[in-house]
């Protein structure tokens, strides 16, 4: 199920998200890089789609033709390729 990148609430979205569509919970833009399945903070231009043009503002609505709503869970705020380091729990104060 897709989630809004701002409020982390589930979105009842159809197959097509228009450029002007907003989240019914927080009114945030839905057609943006942070909601796209191709968004990857570790990739070149933070996008895994090689043909997509560079988008500078990843948080707001854009005109990308390759947009596809991500099927991430709400806890995946760091992106689809974020990995949990098992040593993080050892060194917390």
| Domain-located, residue 38 | yes
| Domain-located, residue 64 | yes
Total domains present in the chain = 1
- Residue 52: exposed, middle, or buried by beta-carbon count in 10 A (0-12, 13-18, 19+)? middle
- Structure-token pair, residue 43: 């990739």
Instruction: Give the pTM.
Output: 0.73
| Domain-located, residue 48 | yes
Helix (H, G, I), strand (E, B) or coil at 45: helix
What's the pLDDT at 57? 94
What's the pLDDT at 75? 52
27: containing domain: 1-73
| Domain-located, residue 22 | yes
| Domain-located, residue 10 | yes
| Domain-located, residue 49 | yes
| Domain-located, residue 90 | no
pLDDT tens, residue order, the chain (93 aa):
788 999 999 988 666 788 899 999 999 999 999 999 999 999 999 999 999 999 999 999 999 999 998 887 655 544 444 555 666 667 665
């Amino acid at each position: 199920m897709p989630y809004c990148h701002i409020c982390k609430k589930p979105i009842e979205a159809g197959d097509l998200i228009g450029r002007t569509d907003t989240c019914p919970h927080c009114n945030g833009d839905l057609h943006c890089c942070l909601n796209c399945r191709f968004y990857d903070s570790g990739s070149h231009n933070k996008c895994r789609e090689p043909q997509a043009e560079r988008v500078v503002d990843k948080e707001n609505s854009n005109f990308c033709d390759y947009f596809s709503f991500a099927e991430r869970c709400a806890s995946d705020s760091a992106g689809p390729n974020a990995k949990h380091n098992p040593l993080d729990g050892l060194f917390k104060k």
